[in-house]
Amino acid sequence: MMLTKEYIKELKSKGNGAIGNLIKRFSDSSSLIFILENLGQLPEDFDGRFLLDLLSHKHSTVRLWAIKSIGKLGKEEYLPILKQIATNDSDTNVRREAVSSIGRMRTKMGQSILIEILQDNDPKIVCQAIRGLLVFKGESIIDDSLKPLVNHENEMVRTIIYKEYFAERINKNNQPHIESYDYLKNVVVNADTIETMKLLKDESIHLTFTSPPYYNARDYSIYPSYKAYLEFLANVFREVHRITKEGRFLIVNTSPIIIPRISRAHSSKRYPIPFDIHPYLIEMGWEFIDDIVWMKPEASVKNRIGGFQQHRKPLAYKPNSVTEYLMVYRKSTDKLLDWNIRQYDRQTVQDSKVPEGYETTNVWKIDPCFDKVHSAVFPVELCKRVIQYYSYKGDLIFDPFAGSGTVGKTAKSLGRYFFLTEKDKTYFDYMRSKKSKEMFDAIETKFLTLEEFKQTIK
Ligand SMILES: C[S@@+](CC[C@H](N)C(=O)[O-])C[C@H]1O[C@@H](n2cnc3c(N)ncnc32)[C@H](O)[C@@H]1O
């Protein structure tokens, strides 16, 4: 006799005992799992006693499915055994399923068991218990048990409780999410980015894409120490955080850099910028989303592997770096991405759809771009992807370290607005010089000093 779904269904309808007998005949783990998986809905009077024996089965998937089936029965008499499994089973998934079954029963007795389970050491189990209890949110005994968990050791637990009980619903900037101020649209300010950002209202921009100065690796970046450099970047991104709209993105392009040795008696030093700036970003309220690797066809800096190629001595291996990072962050919020998307009208969502041919992996192979005036310009393709994947038409895109202004030019070509800051007069003038040619051809583009910009703010 073959074990089939139809056969299981037939036996189930035959009434009590039939499935129990089947289990005795097919007692190997995979048959048991097959039977349990295909039990489907269970009739109210279903005799689930045979399931209890399976709770001590050596195979955790069998135990898991036995628990699921017991959960379907919804009988209070099984609560003590479910509690025992929830607290004692050796497998987290089995324990979780037991907690979930207790929750699904929605009974008073189940409530008090779930409250006890909140003390569990495994955060996943605690989250599952919270889920079961939130069904009764509003009952004082439940709220009193859950609220203190906002200080729980585990960040996921804290986030759930914060969202359920403490998240403030007030938008500091009353402007609708999709709108931005006209005085920021297609504007380039020739000033220090922090000083400029200080003039902006909270939640003014939709997306930031930037490539900060590379510590002291190039001539335009002079910082007293690496720590001072990181703190400078932290201050920049703290302001960016403040002026970013709820739940929107920041994409930072950096890579580890190398400061050459001063003589043969010393070694060169590498600074892992993306990894060092990351903890600052998380701490100030950016949520990590993705690490995208920008891969270039060949190394753009000097050949590091040369020495090794001659001597091949281990330890002195120094690969040529052909990658940079695009670290993707989202301004932390209790709102889902769906909320952000829902703010846009249907037409805008339709018009902003990412066209065919988009990248499906986190390795983006893009040729670097060389420019006669600026030494580190973004390739247009790189900007294009970031802007298309992380913003909608009509959004305001910000680059605090504009350089030659590639972000601005690309944003514009994609039906977005841009706001740029660039400290260096040479680069600012360079952007302005290109105004009539390719990039800032629209009449509304403004090139302003800080003072001039201040005058325009309403
Ligand atoms: C790596 S480059 C950015 C290049 C740019 N992504 C492009 O496509 O041309 C960094 C730029 O930040 C500018 N910069 C450095 N410190 C700044 C500050 N405090 N405020 C504004 N701009 C600054 C530098 O002058 C430099 O042009």
pLDDT, position 131: 95
- Whether 47 contacts 23, CB under 8 Å: no
d(CA 255, CA 250) in angstroms, rounded, equals 16
In the chain, which stretches have pLDDT less than 50? 437, 443
State the pairing for strand pair 205-210/286-295.
Answer: unpaired
Rounded distance from Cα 422 to ligand 1 centre (Å): 6
Q: How far is CA 67 from the centre of its chain?
A: 33
Give the H or E element holding residue 229. helix 226-243
Evaluate the CA torsion angle 49, 51, 55, 59 in order and state its sign.
Answer: positive
Tokens of 235: 């201050």
Pairing relation of β-strands 323-331 and 363-365? unpaired
What is the CB < 6 Å shell around ligand 1? 192-193, 211, 213, 220, 374, 376-378, 401, 403-404, 406, 421-424, 427
- The answer to whether 382 and 366 are in contact (CB under 8 A) is yes
Distance 197 CA to ligand 1 centre (A): 15
User: What span, in angstroms and rounded, lies between the C-alpha atoms of 189 and 446?
Assistant: 8
Angle at 347 between CA 342 and CA 348, to 5 degrees: 65
Query: What stretch of H or E contains 455?
Result: helix 450-456
> Hunting for tokens 């969502």 — which residue is that?
349
Q: Which domains occur in the chain, in start order?
A: 5-166 (1.25.10.10), 182-456 (3.40.50.150)
Atom of ligand 1 nearest to the CA of 402: 5
Closest protein CA for atom 19 of ligand 1: 192
pLDDT tens digits, residue range 123-133?
Answer: 999 999 999 99
Quote the pLDDT of residue 117: 96
State residue 18's pLDDT score. Answer: 81
Judge if pTM exceeds 0.85: no
How many angstroms is it from 136 CA to the middle of ligand 1? 53
How would DSSP label each residue in 21-83?
HHHHH--SHHHHHHHHHT--S--TT---HHHHHHTT-SSHHHHHHHHHHHHHH--GGGHHHHH
**Dist. CA 222 → ligand 1 center (Å):** 12
SS3 1: coil
Contact 219, 260 (CB under 8 A): no
- Residue 209, C-beta contacts closer than 8 angstroms, at least 6 positions apart: 251, 253, 383, 386, 387, 390, 397, 398, 399, 407
Residue 132, amino acid: G
Closest CA to 457 of 235, 143, 182, 161: 182
Summarised one tens digit per residue, pLDDT across range 321-371 is 999 999 999 999 989 999 999 999 999 999 999 999 999 999 999 988 887
